[in-house]
Amino acid sequence: MAKAPSWGVALAGVGIVLAALAAYHNSFSVPFLYDDIPTITDNPSIRHLWPIWPVLSPPPDTTATSRPLVNLALAVNYASGGTAVWGYHALNLAIHILAGLALFGVVRRTLLLPSLRGRFGDAALPLALAVAAIWTLHPLQTESVTYVVQRAESMMGLFYLLTLYGCIRGMDSPAPARWHIFAIAACLLGMASKEVMVSAPVMVFLYDRTFVAGSFGEAWRKRWQLYLGLAGTWVLLGYLVVSAGGNRNGAFSFDIGLSWLAYWMTQFQAIARYLWLSIWPQPLIFEYGFYWVKSLGEVLPYMPVVLGLVAGTVIALWRWPFFGFLGAWFLAILAPTSLLPGTSQMIVEHRMYLALAAVVAFVVLGVYALAGRRSVIIFMAAAIVLGFVTWRRNQDFQTELAIWSDTVAKRPDCAFAHDSLGSALIDANRIPEGIGQFWEALRLKPDYPEAHYNLALVLARIGKIPEAIEQYQQSLAARPNHADTHNNLGNALMQAGRLPEAIEQYAQAIRIRPDFAKAHYNLGLALAQAGQPAEAIAQYEEALRLEPGNADVYDDFGVALVREAKMAEAIQRYEQALRINPDHAKAHNNLGNALLWTGQIPQAIGHYEQALRIQPDYIDAQNNLGGALAQAGRLPEAIAHFEEALRLRPDYAGAHYNLGVALADSNRPAEAIRHFEQALQIDPNFTAARESLARLQAAQSATGTGHN
């Protein structure tokens, strides 16, 4: 194979890297969006790199489910920078740049093969650079690069290209074994990244037949060991698909109860749109939403395009193998997601990540065939324009509010987009506008469980508990096995004072998801409130087994132990809460109570004071500190804290009573009587206040003093 000057190849590679950095430099601050939340911020399996098995076993219902290498890459990001978005975007861009360089290598070496060298050999370097640069800078790629979790697509694309590159190098090497091993390893990694990798062994075989061996028989005779090795990677893919139950949360499934034909009909528009966006990438839409064909007339304009592409590819594979290979590449990449039906993704732009390479190669080589070397100017101009549009598209991703506003403007009939815009508006504290978007989503899709759920969340937040309960119930009617909805319905029922129903909802959430730590914790709170501290303790223990770093659970665990009169154990739990979160004001206050109960007055005072340093307006801590100071004989200080508690909450009957006691002990009976009376006005059943008032009034009567 003829070699270009090494400096030329290196310079081309540097150009691809710099161009990509220029186009994507404004993507590093883009926040986590939609599927990023369950896959990154709420994904416990990426919190530690060791032991490795949990990292390679992602939880269900995330973009990383059954894609262990993607989860591992996210865990590496988390280990190096937590949830700081910069690192995730930097790695995404690095993956994309490497894929662009791999595509450059594949195209250049293909054009230098004997079957193509005569026509393209002299221009192999600039043509490969044009294909790789345009592909790398194309705005259609932004969703796969800027949207963090779609690194699943770009990682698969990188390993797909490296598989082909390794095979090409092996076909041209006198010692091909090391390159074949490289290709098989890359193919295996691709299978662990995304299911679309399934076609890679077939496409390598087709490449060999088209460009090198000349026939399938000759390709098999020369390299059968390579093809067996590549095919062997399907075993891993099959295992991963089966481990996910054959259903990736609605993205695709072998059996979701929907008509395969109905889904296939939607794909005529999808594929035609992908082709159009490849040539004219406007408008780009982040989310197309739920789309079903209602009549044959809707797809008739697109059917000739798609059927013509399929027929043309079949014919070209035998008559014009080069163009046939490009058509087969495009169709093979899209086949898994276009043939297997899904309930949530009908048209998705990131599916074109790798398929776009075929379109770009076809256009670049076609323009070169027509314009010759003058086409280089066209390619440079195209790359510059596409890079600018990519930079501009990345601006749309800068905030959740921006990307969902853009999506709603371009897809106003998409209930999903309205629902997501509603959530973004709520996060921006634009509550009425957010609620309006949820209602618009429900107008477009009345049985949309996510919109009912999100509407319920905000209604509960603003105190409209009965309305929130109704929305949670409607969400469950459409999605009965959603653990989060059961859990949050339990919270709303707790706020409404409907304790038995709340307990049942928490229990249902746990039945659906036994490892739901938050539901175990909430069930513990409800059981404790229902007067069942022993049962509450069991739930707290399970919550801590699942999520051992939760200070709130340790704190409430301590409260339950106090009710069981297990003071020493309660003190241990409060101390554990404070080791996790030294600024946990409530735990300081509760630990102060437990220490006071066991006679450790100075230590109790210290924790009350610490609670107030953290939260100066903590009314209970003010009152409790007053009580501890009174027991220590420091009555003036105690009185000051009781008075501060009453300044913060004038209707605090307990503080009025405690202040009355302290005033009586300070020989200020008239003031004490007033506070006992105020305590009884607030709470007529306050027995201790009534008895103290009676004793003080009797004492005054005996001494002949009065109270005005």
Sign of CA dihedral 58, 60, 66, 70: negative
650-708, superfamily in CATH? Tetratricopeptide repeat domain (1.25.40.10)
Residue pair 211/115 in contact by the 8 Å Cβ criterion: yes
Q: Cβ–Cβ contacts within 10 Å for residue 298, how many?
A: 15
Residue pair 221/306 in contact by the 8 Å Cβ criterion: no
Q: How far is CA 492 from the centre of its chain?
A: 25
pLDDT band at residue 302, thresholds of 50, 70 and 90? Answer: very high
The pLDDT of residue 7 is 86
**Residue 682: C-alpha distances to residues 154, 644, 676 (Å):** 65, 18, 10
The pLDDT of residue 179 is 97
pTM: predicted TM-score of the whole model, two decimal places: 0.83
Q: What is the pLDDT of residues 448-461, one digit of tens each?
A: 999 999 999 999 99
d(CA 465, CA 456): 9
d(CA 540, CA 542): 5
Average of per-residue pLDDT across 15-22:
98
Residue ranges of domains in the chain: 650-708
Joined tokens for residue 600: 């450790």
pLDDT band at residue 293, thresholds of 50, 70 and 90? Answer: confident
d(CA 144, CA 157): 10
The pLDDT of residue 108 is 97
pLDDT of 707 over the 50 cut: no
d(CA 255, CA 25): 42
d(CA 358, CA 313): 12
Joined tokens for residue 528: 């404790």
Joined tokens for residue 288: 């197309």
Burial level of 78, CB count in 10 A (0-12/13-18/19+)?
Answer: buried
Q: Which residues lie below 8 Å from residue 385, measured CB to CB, with a gap of 6+?
A: none
What's the farthest any 2 CA atoms get from each other in the chain? 123
d(CA 659, CA 641): 9
Average of per-residue pLDDT across 512-517:
94
Q: Cβ–Cβ contacts within 10 Å for residue 687, how many?
A: 9
Q: Cβ–Cβ contacts within 10 Å for residue 681, how many?
A: 13
d(CA 462, CA 416): 23
Average of per-residue pLDDT across 482-493:
97
Average of per-residue pLDDT across 358-369:
96
Joined tokens for residue 55: 């990292």
Joined tokens for residue 567: 């003071």
Q: What is the pLDDT of residues 145-200, one digit of tens each?
A: 999 999 999 999 999 999 999 999 999 898 999 999 999 999 999 999 999 999 99
DSSP summary character for residue 31 = P
pLDDT band at residue 708, thresholds of 50, 70 and 90? Answer: very low
Closest by CA position to 130, among listed 321, 366, 343: 366
Residue pair 15/125 in contact by the 8 Å Cβ criterion: no
pLDDT band at residue 61, thresholds of 50, 70 and 90? Answer: confident
In sequence order, what are the beta bridge partners of 247? 253
The pLDDT of residue 294 is 76
d(CA 89, CA 27): 7
Q: What is the pLDDT of residues 222-235, one digit of tens each?
A: 999 999 999 999 99
d(CA 575, CA 572): 5
Average of per-residue pLDDT across 54-83:
94
% of the chain with per-residue pLDDT over 90: 87
Q: What is the pLDDT of residues 618-628, one digit of tens each?
A: 999 999 999 99
Residue pair 506/497 in contact by the 8 Å Cβ criterion: no
Joined tokens for residue 674: 């007033």
Q: What is the pLDDT of residues 376-415, one digit of tens each?
A: 999 999 999 999 999 999 999 999 999 999 999 999 999 9
Average pLDDT, the chain: 93
Average of per-residue pLDDT across 358-371:
96
d(CA 179, CA 177): 5
Joined tokens for residue 481: 């096995």
Joined tokens for residue 331: 């169709």
pLDDT of 4 over the 80 cut: no
The pLDDT of residue 258 is 58
Average of per-residue pLDDT across 461-470:
97
Joined tokens for residue 433: 């506008």
pLDDT of 296 over the 90 cut: no
Joined tokens for residue 195: 């299911």
Q: Which residues lie below 8 Å from residue 228, measured CB to CB, with a gap of 6+?
A: none
d(CA 489, CA 478): 15
Higher pLDDT: 701 or 625? It is: 625
pLDDT of 2 over the 70 cut: no
- The DSSP string of 84-149 is -HHHHHHHHHHHHHHHHHHHHHHHHHHHTSHHHHHHHGGGHHHHHHHHHHHHHH-GGGHHHHHSGG
What is the b/e burial string over 461-488, where b = at least 16 CB atoms within 10 angstroms of the residue's CB?
eeebbeebbbbbebbbebbeebbbbbbb
pLDDT band at residue 704, thresholds of 50, 70 and 90? Answer: low
Closest by CA position to 497, among listed 455, 466, 472: 466
The pLDDT of residue 344 is 57
pLDDT band at residue 246, thresholds of 50, 70 and 90? Answer: low
pLDDT band at residue 254, thresholds of 50, 70 and 90? Answer: very low
d(CA 21, CA 92): 12
Q: Phi and psi dihedrals of 253, rounded to 5?
A: -165, 150
d(CA 242, CA 62): 16
Q: What is the pLDDT of residues 546-558, one digit of tens each?
A: 999 999 999 999 9
Q: What is the pLDDT of residues 609-620, one digit of tens each?
A: 999 999 999 999
Closest by CA position to 589, among listed 567, 544, 559: 559
Q: What is the pLDDT of residues 644-665, one digit of tens each?
A: 999 999 999 999 999 999 999 9
pLDDT band at residue 520, thresholds of 50, 70 and 90? Answer: very high
Enumerate the H helices of 479-584 as residue ranges.
483-495, 499-512, 517-529, 533-546, 551-563, 567-580
Q: Cβ–Cβ contacts within 10 Å for residue 168, how many?
A: 25
Establish how many alpha carbons lie within 13 A of residue 157's alpha carbon, considering only the half-sphere containing its beta carbon.
33
Q: Cβ–Cβ contacts within 10 Å for residue 582, how many?
A: 12
Closest by CA position to 170, among listed 111, 223, 97: 223
